[in-house]
Amino acid sequence: MKKHCSQREDTHSRRAFLHILGASAVSAVITPCLKAVDRSSRKPNIVVLFADDVGYGDLSCYGHPTIRTPNLDRLADEGLRLTSFYSAPSCVPARTQLLLGQYPPRVNLGRTGSGGNGGIPDGRITLAQALKNSGYRTGMMGKWHLGYARDESLPVGKGFDYWFGLPYSNDMRRPWVKTDVPLWLYENTKKVEHPVDQDTLTTRYTEHAVDFIRKAKDEPFFLYMAYSMAHLPIHTTDEFRGKSRAGLYGDVIQTIDWSVGRIVETLRRTGNENNTIVVFASDNGPWLDLPARMLQEGNLPWHAGLPGHLSGAKHTTLEGGPRVPCIVRWPGQIPPGRTSAEMAATMDLYVTFVKAAGGKLPDYPLDGYDLMPFLKGQTGKSPRDTFLYFKGRGAPEAIRVGPWKLRTVNGVELYNLDIDPSERYNRAAEKPELVRQLTERMRHMAEQVGVEIKNASSSKRR
């Protein structure tokens, strides 16, 4: 029998729908204008909005022809839109890089899905722990996927003061996964709902995020909003279903866009807008070429996003797997209206945020850089000029240095991503010396993170 949310949560959800429909009178009642406070001298608040399986081409500000994302478009207009931002090709590596600031081979998480007993090892300091140590109030809403079997492995055991969400992906239940472990919705360490009403997940996450921001008062805060959508099976509420020209998937993306708008509006109404760094990104690209297990109970092949002009998708180290949309906004600090093709990655957010908070970085190796001078426009160059493409804890499959990408999965492939982001033209045969240099660079960097690379096979044209 399903356990229902509290009446207060249901009320928040109904109010949220009225808000998006533009009922200004009701909005004025449900979101009271709090007295603005000058927080310019305080440590910046940090809000990370991390979507799941949302592709590089799924937002209108990244070129989607029919999905409308006005709130994300506005965020991009008021901040910086990155077009060479890298996460990882799948869920767990992406969250490892974001919350630990390290490439996946550096961290042995074990199994973190249903039935698994893995988790973040003791001694690793999460982004939440680093910020909490610097005086931040920390909250998370959404998907964790970094260990759940013990309370200490859950978000509240890894630096978050509050968590409302799922312990792993929303498909880890029958019929999509052969498991007898129930998928529960959690609040902190308490299981609060099974079966989970996934139609309202995004709206409920959002209302809990709004409450978290309102309760922060004068404390600096870190909010990590890890949407469960648009991971299959996709869901949204009746209020958003059928509103997009792009079908159910478009409805789901537009629900996320509504959520972004509601959170940003709450920052404004609580006087936190100008002292808050907001980042929107995705964990990886769209889940295309779906396995047969996913095509059940109404899941359809087109219930997935687009990699835009990139090749590949989730679970690949072609660009459409790890390259994702990323928008960064900090009013008065990050100049608005900019777009940059400079490289940046999720590991960089870890380092950037800890330093911005005046915190202490761990004394073990990290793989990120401080992006703040670049984000603020003090320099036109990102400190990152190299990126290794990992699918998991094995050897890297590719390396990017500047515009050049070497990939060694199917022979030797060399692409100039500045002029060929779709990876159509293999240049390996004409640039053997560059291939050799990049191969050595990849081997050396892989050794630094503790993995060994097999010899690259002979090149072939695509």
Write down the pLDDT at residue 42.
86
**Are 389 and 444 spatial neighbours (Cβ–Cβ below 8 Å)?**
no
Q: CA Rg, the chain, in Å?
A: 21
For residue 258, how far is the Cα from the chain centroid? 17
Write down the pLDDT at residue 115.
87
DSSP 220-239: -EEEEEE--TTSSSP---TT
> Rounded to a whole number, what is the distance in angstroms from the first to the last CA of the chain?
54
Neighbour order of strands in the sheet with 386-389 = 386-389, 398-401, 404-407, 413-416
Give every residue of the chain whose pLDDT is below 70, as ranges: 1-41, 454-462
DSSP 48-85: EEEESS--TT-SGGGT-SS---HHHHHHHHTSEEEEEE
| Beta strand extents in 314-435 (DSSP E only) | 323-329, 338-345, 386-389, 398-401, 404-407, 413-416
Write down the pLDDT at residue 40.
53
**Are 241 and 249 spatial neighbours (Cβ–Cβ below 8 Å)?**
no
Write down the pLDDT at residue 33.
40
Q: What is the pLDDT of residues 177-204, one digit of tens each?
A: 999 999 999 999 999 999 999 999 999 9
Token representation of residue 281: 């990104």
Catalytic residue among 91, 231, 303, 326: 91
Q: Quick check: is 64 catalytic? A: no
DSSP 289-326: S--GGGS-TT--TTSS---TT----TTSSSTTTTEEEE
- Residue 130, C-beta contacts closer than 8 angstroms, at least 6 positions apart: 159, 350, 354, 357, 359, 360, 361, 362
Helices (H) and strands (E) in the chain, counts: 10, 14
Write down the pLDDT at residue 53.
98
Of 231, 207, 211, which Cα lies nearest the Cα of 221? 211
DSSP 246: T
Write down the pLDDT at residue 217.
81
Which residues, in sequence order, are bridge partners of residue 278?
Answer: 47, 329
> What residue spans define the domains of the chain?
7-23+39-383, 395-448
Cβ neighbours, 10 Å, residue 117: 12
The rounded distance, in Å, linking the Cα atoms of 196 and 316 is 30
Write down the pLDDT at residue 317.
98
Q: What is the pLDDT of residues 195-232, one digit of tens each?
A: 999 999 999 999 999 999 999 988 999 999 999 999 99
Write down the pLDDT at residue 41.
62
Neighbour order of strands in the sheet with 185-187 = 190-193, 185-187, 162-165, 137-142, 221-226, 45-51, 276-282, 323-329, 80-86, 338-345
Token representation of residue 141: 């809403």
Catalytic residue among 19, 64, 145, 208: 145
Query: What CATH number does the domain located at 7-23+39-383 have?
Result: 3.40.720.10
Q: Quick check: is 145 catalytic? A: yes
- Residue 437, C-beta contacts closer than 8 angstroms, at least 6 positions apart: none
Dihedral angle computed from the Cα positions of residues 318, 322, 326 and 328, in that order, rounded to the nearest 10 degrees: -130
Kindly report the backbone phi and psi dihedral angles of residue 296, in degrees, each rounded to the nearest multiple of 5, phi listed first.
Answer: -135, 160
Question: Cα–Cα distances in Å, from 400 out to 42, 102, 439, 457?
Answer: 37, 17, 11, 18
Kindly report the backbone phi and psi dihedral angles of residue 446, in degrees, each rounded to the nearest multiple of 5, phi listed first.
Answer: -65, -40
Give domain 395-448's CATH number out of 3.90.700.10, 3.30.1120.10, 3.30.930.10, 3.40.50.740.
Answer: 3.30.1120.10
Judge whether 7-23+39-383 and 395-448 match in fold: no
pTM of the model: 0.90
